[in-house]
């Protein structure tokens, strides 16, 4: 069983239990472990481990959080002076502070959706380093580009493949999305021609 010593990276968690103590977990907590950043993000109904890539099951029992899957760990937890304290299997105490949702870094993820009122027909993938890809869903060919976030605004720059195209095509195309951290959604007023407002929502399993 891996412990938090190998989890010093973003972990998104969702708590589905009941009770006052568990409801206090439903936010983002940040701190350090072995002098490296440790982020615990509680929302929705899924726990993601290792840079928001691998979905992991978990449960909360009394004063313990137990995660199991590709990465597994168990910690004791309690609250003191608006801080979340964790005790690892080795007996180390980790102190975490709350971080507002809008201040949370966005490391990437997979998003699906479509024009408001229609079925999902677009898929978007964000990766670290500002790398982005999108396609028509399902089965479309991927288009490559870049993304850059400024708080609630994310700007995407796409580089069309002009090979074999006779008509004049711009070197790049920009989309601008409004980011909703509460709903894990991206709203695009404009994307491809003849398409209205598009809403893409983050998906955790695919």
Closest CA to 205 of 62, 59, 47: 47
E strand or H helix at 143, and its extent? strand 143-150
Structural element, H or E, at residue 65 = strand 64-68
How far apart, in whole angstroms, are the C-alpha atoms of residue 86 and residue 74? 10
* Rounded Cα–Cα distance for residues 77 and 17 (Å): 15
The pLDDT-based confidence of 123 (bands split at 50, 70, 90) is: very high
Report the range out of 25-29, 96-100, 171-175 with the highest average pLDDT: 171-175
What radius of gyration, in Å, describes the C-alpha atoms of the chain?
20
| Residue for token pair 């720059």 | 157
Burial, 17: exposed, middle or buried (Cβ in 10 Å; 0-12, 13-18, 19+)?
exposed
Choice between 199 and 67, residue whose per-residue pLDDT is larger: 199
CA pair distance 71, 85, nearest whole angstrom? 21
The DSSP bridge pattern shows strands 36-42 and 10-13 to be parallel
CA distance 97 to 81: 10
Whether the predicted model's global pTM rises above the 0.85 cut:
no
Assess whether pLDDT exceeds 80 at residue 15: no
Give me the pLDDT at residue 158, please. 95
Q: By C-alpha distance, which of 63, 58, 30 is closest to 45?
A: 58
Number of residues in the chain: 206
Determine the Cα–Cα distance for residues 178 and 135; give it in Å rounded to an integer: 19
Q: Measured in whole angstroms, how far is the alpha carbon of residue 105 from the centre of its chain? A: 9
The residues spanned by each domain of the chain are: 4-103, 109-203
Mean pLDDT for 104-132 is 88
Spatial distance between the Cα atoms of 64 and 77, rounded to a whole number of angstroms: 6
Classify domain 109-203 by CATH architecture: Beta Barrel (2.40)
Q: Is the pLDDT of residue 16 over 50?
A: no
Check whether 180 has a pLDDT greater than 90: no
């Amino acid at each position: 069983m891996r412990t938090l010593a190998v989890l010093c990276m973003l972990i998104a968690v969702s708590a589905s239990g009941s009770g006052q103590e568990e409801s206090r977990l439903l936010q983002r907590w940040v701190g350090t472990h072995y002098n490296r950043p440790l982020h615990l993000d509680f929302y929705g109904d899924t726990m993601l481990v290792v840079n928001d890539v691998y979905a992991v099951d978990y449960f909360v029992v009394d004063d313990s959080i137990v995660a199991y899957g590709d990465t597994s760990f168990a910690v004791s937890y309690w609250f003191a002076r608006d801080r979340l304290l964790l005790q690892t299997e080795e007996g180390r105490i980790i102190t975490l502070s709350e971080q507002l949702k809008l201040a949370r870094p966005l490391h990437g993820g997979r998003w699906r959706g479509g024009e408001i009122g229609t079925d999902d027909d677009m898929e978007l993938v964000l990766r670290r380093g500002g790398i982005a890809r999108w396609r028509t869903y399902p089965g479309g060919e991927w288009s490559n580009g870049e993304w850059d976030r400024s708080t609630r605004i994310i700007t995407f720059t796409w580089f069309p493949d002009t090979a074999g195209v006779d008509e004049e095509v711009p070197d790049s195309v920009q989309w601008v999305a409004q980011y909703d951290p509460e709903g894990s959604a991206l709203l695009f007023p404009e994307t491809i021609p003849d398409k209205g407002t598009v809403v893409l929502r983050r998906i955790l399993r695919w």
